[in-house]
Amino acid sequence: MGKLDKYARQSKTKEPSKVLPIRLPESIYEHFRQLCDELGLSMSEAGFLLIREELEDSLYNETTNEVAVTTERIQKSIHHEGTPYTKNDTGKLSSFSTRWTSIAYEIENELPCPLCHHWYSKANFSRHAKNHNTTTKELLESNEEVVNTMINERKLTT
């Protein structure tokens, strides 16, 4: 299965489609159109993919929360009621973990691209980084000054 196969139109499904007309400010429309052109997608396809991903994320979160609530009832506490529990927070990552994560750069489940000066979904950022012929880690760490500026600007607006 190729990488794009998961985005192929499902001709087997006979479900009728509907049109979703939306209004956008002209600046957002133009920016979205340019982004779609760069990615080789029609605006309709891109909108469909965004909506589908949002719905799939929502379904995943609902299922995950349901499992958490269900298992919470059967789990026994590992701490006794009278025993105090404290955690030493040194601000450092665990020493046993050697895997790099992008959590330090993440805001609202998005990561900044220092080359495009745009924010992209964390789930799709690795694919975006490939457009720059690099990895997520290399892109964020080698442009740390720009990344930090984008993060600080985003924090001020949220």
Domain ranges of the chain: 23-73, 103-158
- The residue assigned the tokens 């880690």 is 137
More confident residue, 82 or 143: 143
Residue 112 φ then ψ, to 5°: -85, 140
Residue 130 φ then ψ, to 5°: -65, -30
CA distances from 143 to 49, 123, 137, 147, 150 (A): 29, 20, 10, 6, 11
- The pLDDT score that the predictor gives to residue 139 is 92
- The pLDDT score that the predictor gives to residue 27 is 92
Selection from 131, 133, 125, 136 nearest residue 38 by Cα: 131
- The pLDDT score that the predictor gives to residue 156 is 86
- The pLDDT score that the predictor gives to residue 4 is 60
pTM score of the predicted model: 0.40
Q: What's the pLDDT tens digit per position in 61-74?
A: 666 666 555 555 55
